[in-house]
Structure 1
Amino acid sequence: MTQFAHDTIFPLKDSDLSKKDQVADMFNNIAHRYDFLNRFLSAGVDIWWRKKAIRQLKKLNPKKILDVATGTADVAIMSASILNPEKITGIDISDGMLEIGRTKIKKQGLEKTIELVNGDSETIKFADNSFDAVTVAFGVRNFEHLEKGLAEIKRVLKPGGKLVVLEFSQPKTAGVTQVYNVYMKLVAPNVGKIFSKNRNAYKYLDESIKKFPEGKNFTLILDNLGYTNTYCKPLSLGICSIYCGEK
């Protein structure tokens, strides 16, 4: 498997823990403020991004969905409403995030539709050809080995099934780029420090986005892994992108 530049970006530079363990610890630490900071730092636009990504699956009408790196289950809950599937399974390596997700699911009475379990993208504990669709929102940057995780997702997709990835990207428009860079380098880490007491998490966010193989580079990775009909849809002047591929 190829190693990509963002694979070497860790939340903590002086830790002996693997990237996977560091990411799990990081999200456990910020779980209690994660949803608030998402809404605050994106001015609520992240909700629209998620809905736009989920709607890429409308024509497919999937009955069984896997939400990888489900976090606090935002995409799983929105998918239940927009797509009305029979079953959504969310997996994540952070028990802290899953705990908050389960509380949200119970509050909305979705326990029969959505199940959250601790699980790793690189060793998905489901049989081949298990899901009609797989979603990953703001999670692929955190995979310890990007290709391995994407290959595992393809394995559990049914033939004709679809992967939808939502991920941050870097805007290329003059003027927007400069404002974005200042925001990600200074504003986001300091706001993160104030509200979650964890500046490193949002510093890692900036660094990992800069190194991530975005746009055509990401769809090329999907192509090389055997995905078909791959495409990329930039959102909000390129701050975020939707990537899709089929098995």
Structure 2
Amino acid sequence: MSQTRITDADGMETSYGFSTVSGGGEKQARVDEVFHRVASRYDVMNDLMSGGLHRVWKNAMVSWLAPSRRPGWSFIDVAGGTGDIAFRIMDASRGAAQGTVLDINASMLGVGAERAGKRGLDGALTFVEGNAERLPFPDMSFDAYTIAFGIRNVPRIDYALAEAHRVLKPGGRFLCLEFSEVDMPILDKAYELWSFRAIPAIGEMVAKDRASYEYLVESIRRFPNQENFASMVRTAGFSRVSYRNLSGGIAAIHSGWKL
């Protein structure tokens, strides 16, 4: 079951789970199809797959971000279609923030926009269909850039990180929440069994889609570990790069500043 983790951005462009594809275009098309299929059940599946821990991890990310309550403070949440992170940031800023949710997948954005409407956030959040590798915004547009459980699905991670740096204002903050490498000997074995045996089976029962969740589990195992990803963030030009492990390294939050 185990596969060697990728150590640099180049390897992710041709990695579709444990399979190798011809390049970024093929990977992007396959990933898009996965998220079109799972969009309607995405948040339910997150609860089932993580035992609700994804909520704790997302709260930890937003807490570390410490959104400003200054009027006009702006953020972009990339690959955030269903709105989970954006809603938390809006709550933490007490409604002062100006938020943009960007996702390449229209199905995910549709779920997020519907949820935003039910929360009365129609005017506070803008939902934009776009590619993390080519953000449709001018330089120095945002005070913060967040991405949660999305960076590993981007074919050219170095492009996405460069774009994150470009659209941030000087003094802006980058935060990435992603599954990572478990650093506890007993936990890693239990997590391996849960991932490869339970999660695809849950996907088949709840979302009627085993293959998509097999890909998602495999993509986690291929993603660079904490130190290798931190190196990529530094290479993109970010300063004061650091990370925090969550739940023994099942997930990690990476932070960087545009100084």
Shorter-chain TM-score tier: over 0.9
Structure-2 residue corresponding to 1:81? 91
Q: Deviations over 1:185-228 (max 9, x none)?
A: 11111111111122122111222111211211111111112100
Structure-2 residue corresponding to 1:38? 46
- Matched-pair contact (CA < 8 Å) for 1:98–1:118: yes
Change (3 A) 1:123 1:206: same
The counterpart of 1:244, out of the listed 240, 248, 255, is 255
Q: Deviations over 1:125-152 (max 9, x none)?
A: 0000000000000000011100001101
Q: Deviations over 1:37-88 (max 9, x none)?
A: 0011111111110011011221765710000001211001111001234310
Question: 2:106, 2:58 → 1: CA distance?
Answer: 22
Structure-1 residue corresponding to 2:12? 6
The aligned runs of 1:153-168 (5 Å cut-off) are: 153-168=164-179
Question: 1:207, 1:114 → 2: CA distance?
Answer: 33
Question: 2:100, 2:10 → 1: CA distance?
Answer: 28
Aligned to 1:203, the other structure's residue is in SS state: helix
Structure-1 residue corresponding to 2:79? 69
Question: Would you say 1:184 and 2:195 are equivalent positions?
Answer: yes
Cα offset, 1:174, TM superposition: 1.3
Deviates more, 1:154-163 or 1:55-64: 55-64
Question: 2:118, 2:133 → 1: CA distance?
Answer: 30
Cα offset, 1:237, TM superposition: 1.1
Question: 2:230, 2:9 → 1: CA distance?
Answer: 16
Aligned to 1:242, the other structure's residue is in SS state: strand
Question: 1:225, 1:216 → 2: CA distance?
Answer: 14
Change (3 A) 1:6 1:189: farther
Structure-2 residue corresponding to 1:104? 115
Change (3 A) 1:61 1:133: farther
Structure-2 residue corresponding to 1:208? 219
Normalised to the residue count of structure 1, the TM-score between the two structures is: 0.94
Deviates more, 1:40-49 or 1:58-67: 58-67
Change (3 A) 1:11 1:221: closer
Structure-1 residue corresponding to 2:155? 144
Cα offset, 1:18, TM superposition: 1.6
Change (3 A) 1:15 1:147: closer
- Matched-pair contact (CA < 8 Å) for 2:17–2:222: no
> Could you tell me which amino acid in structure 1 is paired with residue 13 of structure 2?
D
Aligned to 2:184, the other structure's residue is in SS state: coil
- Matched-pair contact (CA < 8 Å) for 1:11–1:200: no
Aligned to 1:121, the other structure's residue is in SS state: coil
- Matched-pair contact (CA < 8 Å) for 1:67–1:134: yes
- Matched-pair contact (CA < 8 Å) for 1:169–1:209: yes
Question: 2:10, 2:21 → 1: CA distance?
Answer: 20
RMSD: 1.9
Question: 2:228, 2:222 → 1: CA distance?
Answer: 12
Change (3 A) 1:209 1:11: closer
- State the identity %: 33
* Structure 2 unaligned blocks of 5 or more: 1-7
Structure-1 residue corresponding to 2:3? none
